[in-house]
Amino acid sequence: MRQMINEHGTTVNVIEHIILSNLWEYYIIADDSITHTSDTDITFALVVGEHTELGNVSIDEITPYIDTRTTNLDIMPAPNWTWCDSVLA
């Protein structure tokens, strides 16, 4: 897990990064408020596509289009976001 912060001070805990074939990026967010059951594949993510927004995502719907998927978060943060461990105090 790695924490990102934006210019407004919003922080998110990123647990996975996904890139689709259309180059949209999904920063999968650890969110304890979402209840996962065997009936759902919904997860919470910061999606960087036409717009950048936080919201629920169906992993089943995007799976056919996944080019890369990793939990190794030694990657660039989302646009207008910074990794918290990179912020200079």
pLDDT at position 24 is: 98
Q: Which residues, 6 or more positions from 37, have their beta carbon under 8 angstroms from its beta carbon?
A: none
pTM for the full model? 0.87
pLDDT digit string, tens, across residues 42-86: 999 999 999 999 999 999 999 999 999 999 999 999 999 999 987
For residue 14, which of 63, 83, 87, 66 has the smallest C-alpha distance? 83
